Structure formats: C-alpha cells, structure tokens
Structure 1
Amino acid sequence: MNSPARATRPPSPAPGLNADLHCHSTVSDGTLSPEQLAARAQGNGVQLWSLTDHDEIGGQPRARAAANALGLDYLTGTEISVTFAGETVHIVGLGFDADDAQLAAGLTATRGGREQRAREMAADLARVGIPGAYEGALKYVGNPELISRTHFARFLVETRVCGDTGEVFRRFLTEGRPGFVPHRWARLGDAVRWITEAGGTAVVAHPGRYRFSPTEEYALFTEFQAHGGEGVEVVTGSHSVAEYAKYADLARELGLVASRGSDFHSPGESRIDLGGLPPLPAGLTPVWERLGGRIQRAMAEPVPIPPAAPVPR
C-alpha cells in the first residue's frame, strides 16, 4: 500500500497548477529513466507529476522516490491500452494503489502478445526491403514486454529510412502502411475497473487523437462513464488550442474532471516538454482536486539524488 498523504498540505484546486500527469520512461517507450524524468519535471517547474508508462507500473517506486527527493508532489500513474470500436484508445489511471494485485495482473495480461505482434511487424517491414527491424527495435527497449511502434520508429530513423518519427508514421506502422499489425488490447470496462477498484481515477487520454465520428466519440464517453470513468485529458501535447476548448466543453457537459499532461517521451521527439503546457481552461474541476488525498507529498527539504545511468543504445 502506498504511504498515506499528509493532511497538512492540501492540494491546490487552481486550474493554473503546473501539473504534468502523462509521460513515459524507459520502463515503457520513453528514452529517459524515471529519475531523469523527475529531475526534468522539477527543473521545468512542474508542481505535481505522474509517470504513466504504457500498461506498466514497474517504474512507480523509482518515480515516487525520485519525486520525493526532489521536492515534487507525486501521483501514481499508468496508461492502459484498450480497444473500442476497432480503435486503440488509451486510459490513464491516476492516484491508485500501486501494490494492487488486480491492477498488476490486468496490466500483465494486457502486455501479453506484444512480442508476437512486434515480430509480425518486422516481417512485414522485411517484405518491403527493411530487414532486421525486430532486432533493431530491441536496442531501444528498456522493457522487452513493452516493445512498441515507437521503438520501431526509432530504428527506422537511426537507419535513415526516415528523417524523423513523424515521417515514420506517415509511411509505415499505421493502418494500410507496411509494418502495421493490429493488436487487441484490454476491454474498456476492465481497464476502468482495475483503476477505480485500486482507488484511482480513470481518465480518457488525448481524445482528439482518435479517429471517431461524433457518434462514436459520444459512445466512448457514455460507456466510459457507465463503467466508473471520471476524467478527460483536456490539455495535452497532441491537442490543438481548438481541442483544448472542445474537450473543456465536453468535460463541463458530462461532469468530468479535467486532466493535463504533456505525453512526453523523449527530448528529441516530443512535441511538448514536461511542464510546458498552458493551464487548464477556466470553469473545470481539475483531476488533482478529486485526488487530493492520494497525492504523495514531497519532502519538506529536497535532497540531492545521484544522476541516472545513461540510456543504453
């Protein structure tokens, strides 16, 4: 069980709090360790941070310890891949008990099948003249259970097949392009239940990224709320200014709490750095207000931590 939050410092309910509640480390598909991310967040003025690795909570103890040492308030986090209406949707969980057995088992089951999918992706790339992609992608994987399209993209950039990761996803690894292999993830209801029964809050991540019609998007949020989901990521690295406004309106309409997170993966790849987002629009209930009792408070006096080992290449 996580250490209980101290009641002496209630969380700020202000939408302007610099909270970054969505990012990834080498435990999934980021290029920085949990310790390096904590230092970057703190250095960029983040006041409340969460590490949300894909389908994984193995980095939570390291992230929590690093945040605590740096004087940074922390919420436990993960990002669960689900399949809804034929589309991969991500559900961020925040403020849960990181020792919850049901959540851990659900995430383990969700990670299953990634290796076989990766080998099929590599075989498809080989058919269009790009050999060795599986082995190449593995060089970028901190956790082999979580090999993903991002790792393949880094290999394609390294070998100069593409100039950057944006070009990779325009030419490869997406539906109808070489290297795309679908994967069936967790069910929406299961992901929300794992989070909420572990004491956390479930949030629909970056809804503007999904290729849903208005009817399909409404169905997603209706089912999400029916299962106990409570939040939506309004301000995030992949949203435009217009989408900030759109999903702020949706949060108000449906009574959802609002979250904010950069979705940071790497200094050389991510659109927005940790702590670099604008504040939440006015008139919203921030998710950290709902989770005030779950925030793990920083030490009163930060202490130095040793630098993390360099990321292997």
Structure 2
Amino acid sequence: MTAVMNADLHCHSVVSDGTLTPEELAERAAGNGVELWALTDHDEIGGQHRAAAAARANGMKYLTGTEISVTFAGETVHIVGLGFDAGDTRMLEGLTATRGGREARAREMAAQLAQVGIPGAYEGALKYVGNPELISRTHFARFLVEVGACKDTPEVFRKYLTEGKPGYVPHRWASLKDAVQWITLGGGIAVIAHPARYKFTANEEYALFSEFKAHGGRGVEVVTGSHTAAEATRYAGTAKEFGLAASRGSDFHSPDESHTDLGKLPPLPEGLTPVWELLADRIR
C-alpha cells in the first residue's frame, strides 16, 4: 500500500444519509479508480458486509468504517473509525445508544418547522431514510428542497437547520473518549474527520487534538471533500505536530449534492504517514 494510492476512506450510503446503496457506491468508486475504499455511515455499521463484498467484486481493497458523532466543547465533532472488527459488541452497543436520541430530536425539529409554516417535515424526512433511528438533518434538508421551501440543501442549512434558526435542535452524542475507545478496542484506528469544518478557537482545537491523542486516537483527515488546498496544508502540519497519521476521503453522499466525487481527491501532501500504512493487516 503506497502513499500515493487512490484511497477514499470516507463516504455514506443509504444505510445512513447517502442516496446510493453500498453496491452502487462500490461500483462508482471503482469506476473512478479507487484502489482502497471504506464505507463510513454515520453511527452505523449495518452496511459493512455488503460494502466489503461489493469492494471485492469490483476489484478494490476494503477497510471497515464508520463515522461517530461526538460532543466536544459544545460542538458536534465526527470521528471516523477504520479497520475495526465489525462484529465487536462494544462498538455495536455504543452505536445503538448514540443513535437512540435521533427520533426524539427529529420530532422536535419537525415541530419547530411546523411553527414557521412547514408542516409534515418529520414524515417527509422519513421518506428519505426509512429508519427513525438514523434520521438526520440531511433528510429534513432533502424534504425542504422537495416541497420548495429552499432551492438546495445548502440553503436549507443556512435558513433552518443551524444554530439559532428554526429547526435546529442540538443532540448530545457520545463522548470523544467513548468513540475512540470503541474503535481502538475493536482493533481499528480513530481519525478526526474534516477538522476545518469545526468552529473552534485555536485553544479549543488544540484541546481536541490533545485529548483525542490521549484517548488513543491516531489519525486526522488531511485531504477531504470540504478542505481547501490551504486547509490540507494546514492539517498536514497538525498531523506532524501531534504525530498523527493522515487520512483521505471524499465524504461523498450523493451524485446530486456532493462537491467532490469518490476517488477524485488530490493526493496526500508529502512527508506524512498514510493511515492505511498503519492498517495494512486490517485491509481485506
């Protein structure tokens, strides 16, 4: 596994908030030249066996994956887990618990939207997911676009689903320590996802990376769909500062919504340890 290989270790299927099946994602990734792939659905590993089989069928190597939501300094932070045992009971139980608050949160979001003249949002969002345990803001966004409340999902988030807007309801997720330990005890590596997206002060970000590493976290996404070239350079420096491996993933959700397609990212900056080098024995 070389440092310059086309690895895409962050994307989402219909098992969480993507629009393609694991099989469709695998075919798309392989068609775009991906050599090593991971499906990282939000707080869910139910698609892992399908994804691994589809990766093999399309000639790709595969790492198990998930993206766990955690609360840190009042913000929701995402921790990607790679290469863990998908049958590990601690991981399964932890993810079940962290998903448990989604339905109640979704009903409260719908009630707020009804107050500003958008009725039926819970049922409308549910059409896009099918499982109340996995309902998220993305599913509400798709419904609001469908009914013409907004022209696209970014407008939905600006007007309705972010802090201070109608429809925003915070959710307390797992702790950073819990998420990192579920991943590492299952034999995997924890990675901080798309760090440039979090609205942290410099001190808060330093605390995040320090605590993450203290709990056993070993990687950070340097190249990802939402990072600019300057941000990739910045977090390459952070990876070196904290002695973390570097990961690469598009965060692809949908052909119609995602800015970056599977397998279409620039390579990792030089001088970093790719996370897949630490996971060579977990690649299937």
Q: TM-score, normalised by structure 2?
A: 0.99
Matched to 1:238, the amino acid is S
Matched to 1:174, the amino acid is T
- For 2:169, the equivalent position in structure 1 comes to 181
- For 1:100, the equivalent position in structure 2 comes to 88
Match of 1:170 among 147, 158, 167: 158
Following TM superposition, the consecutive aligned residue runs of length 4 or more in structure 1 with deviations greater than 2 angstroms are none
Alpha-carbon distance in structure 2 between the residues aligned to 1:142 and 1:279: 36
Match of 1:111 among 88, 92, 99: 99
Match of 2:279 among 281, 286, 291: 291
- For 1:13, the equivalent position in structure 2 comes to 2
Structure 1 pair 71–142 and aligned structure 2 pair: CA distance change class (3 A) = farther
Q: C-alpha deviations, 1:244-274, integer Å up to 9, x for none?
A: 0000010011110000000000000001000
What is the root-mean-square deviation in Å for CA atoms of aligned residues? 0.6
- For 1:200, the equivalent position in structure 2 comes to 188
Matched to 1:213, the amino acid is T
Alpha-carbon distance in structure 2 between the residues aligned to 1:144 and 1:282: 43
Alpha-carbon distance in structure 1 between the residues aligned to 2:130 and 2:255: 17
Alpha-carbon distance in structure 1 between the residues aligned to 2:41 and 2:132: 13
Aligned residues: 284
Structure 1 pair 32–204 and aligned structure 2 pair: CA distance change class (3 A) = same
- For 1:305, the equivalent position in structure 2 comes to none
Does residue 258 of structure 1 match 2:257? no
**Where does 1:1-313 land on structure 2 (aligned, <5 Å)?**
12-14=1-3, 16-296=4-284
- Distance apart, 1:189 and its partner CA: 0.2
Q: SS of 1:281's equivalent?
A: coil
Q: SS of 2:165's equivalent?
A: coil
- Distance apart, 1:142 and its partner CA: 4.3
Matched to 2:17, the amino acid is D
- Distance apart, 1:13 and its partner CA: 2.9
- Distance apart, 1:145 and its partner CA: 1.1
Matched to 2:229, the amino acid is V
Alpha-carbon distance in structure 1 between the residues aligned to 2:35 and 2:56: 12
Q: SS of 1:267's equivalent?
A: coil
Alpha-carbon distance in structure 2 between the residues aligned to 1:25 and 1:81: 16
Q: TM-score, normalised by structure 1?
A: 0.90
Q: Check whether the contact 1:93–1:195 (CA below 8 A) recurs between aligned residues.
A: yes
Matched to 1:52, the amino acid is T
Q: C-alpha deviations, 1:158-199, integer Å up to 9, x for none?
A: 111100011111101100001000000000000000000000
Q: SS of 1:186's equivalent?
A: coil
Matched to 2:160, the amino acid is F
Alpha-carbon distance in structure 2 between the residues aligned to 1:55 and 1:254: 26
Select the structure with the greater relative contact order (CA < 8 A; seq sep ≥ 6): 1
- Distance apart, 1:107 and its partner CA: 0.4
Matched to 1:281, the amino acid is P
Matched to 2:136, the amino acid is S
Alpha-carbon distance in structure 2 between the residues aligned to 1:246 and 1:295: 28
Q: Check whether the contact 1:92–1:205 (CA below 8 A) recurs between aligned residues.
A: yes
Q: In structure 2, list runs of 5 or more residues that go unmatched.
A: none
Alpha-carbon distance in structure 1 between the residues aligned to 2:27 and 2:75: 34
Alpha-carbon distance in structure 1 between the residues aligned to 2:121 and 2:8: 33
Q: In structure 1, list runs of 5 or more residues that go unmatched.
A: 1-11, 297-313
- For 1:303, the equivalent position in structure 2 comes to none
Q: Check whether the contact 1:29–1:142 (CA below 8 A) recurs between aligned residues.
A: no
Alpha-carbon distance in structure 1 between the residues aligned to 2:44 and 2:101: 14
Q: SS of 1:238's equivalent?
A: coil
Q: Check whether the contact 1:237–1:277 (CA below 8 A) recurs between aligned residues.
A: yes
Q: SS of 2:252's equivalent?
A: coil
